[in-house]
Amino acid sequence: MNKFFKSTVCAVAAVAMMAACFAGCSKKDDTAADTSSSEQKEVLIMATNATFPPYEYYDGEDIVGIDAEIGKAIADKLGMDFKIEDMEFNSIISYVNSGDNVMGMAGMTVSEDRKLQVDFSSSYANGVQVVIVKKDSDIKTVDDLAGKKIGVQLSTTGDIYATDDFGAEMVTQYNKATDCVLGLKNGDVDAVIIDNAPAQTFVAENDTLKLLETEYANEDYAICVKKGNTQLLDKINGALSELTADGTVKKIIDKYIPAK
């Protein structure tokens, strides 16, 4: 049965509220105290949700991870300053659409529905949707999820697929990936559908949890920009292809996801 393996995402029109906090962030413009002759650099903003290790997560006060490092390398290549804005995953697309120097980078899966709202760069990593359960769970395969309570992160592909496959009434949407895991540990949900890379981290940190061996879906991660912003998209794709060719992207991914 291949109903769990989706090549496209069913449309969920996320007419999210406009991010009003963006104005003024795209350029450093306070030059009053700057007597040097050097030009102010433009700022490339990375919109993300930093609860998604190892792609983006907090290390103390800093947001680190694969996306944070690739994003910084792209900004460096483009001669731009770099700033990360942390927000709910559900807000990233509307935030990206509110600015010209903003890229959404959040382990974000390319989907047909999202392509209607934003433009995507070439893919820089693969993702797999997996299922986390408690070690003593009677859920052994993806088929056993029917009739079970499933936790997902709001507006992620895991949310969209699970709602489609098992019905909205069976799906609990959390704002953060970490809250999905808490919901599972508390018994509020029976399983969590989430991307493999953060799932590995959460299972490693919680010895009562395990991953199902069967995968739920395969996906590509890419960077999104405002719909029609070909200027930024071309620059990002140019930087990405150089960073891929010289091994930087692989080095960063291998640093956070060591080969087994």
Binding site for ligand GLN (CB under 6 A): 49, 52, 89, 106-109, 127, 153, 156-157, 177, 195
> With respect to ligand GLN, which residue has the nearer C-beta, 106 or 192?
106
DSSP codes of every residue in 25-67: -SB----TT--SSSPPPBEEEEEE-SEETTTEEEETTEEESHH
**For residue 39, is it left (φ>0), alpha (ψ between -120 and 50) or beta?**
beta
Closest-by-Cβ residue to ligand GLN is: 156
Q: How far is the CB of 191 from ligand GLN (least distance, A)?
A: 16
Q: Check if the beta carbon of residue 133 is closer than 8 Å to that of residue 212.
A: yes
Whole-number Å distance between alpha carbons of 145 and 221: 25
188 Cβ neighbours under 8 A, 6+ residues apart: 149, 151, 172
Angle value at C-alpha 211, between 166 and 196, nearest 5 degrees: 85
> With respect to ligand GLN, which residue has the nearer C-beta, 9 or 78?
9
> With respect to ligand GLN, which residue has the nearer C-beta, 63 or 78?
63
> With respect to ligand GLN, which residue has the nearer C-beta, 190 or 195?
195
Q: How far is the CB of 110 from ligand GLN (least distance, A)?
A: 8
Q: How far is the CB of 156 from ligand GLN (least distance, A)?
A: 3
Q: How far is the CB of 49 from ligand GLN (least distance, A)?
A: 5
> With respect to ligand GLN, which residue has the nearer C-beta, 73 or 154?
154
Token pair of 131 as six digits:
């299922």
Q: How far is the CB of 57 from ligand GLN (least distance, A)?
A: 11
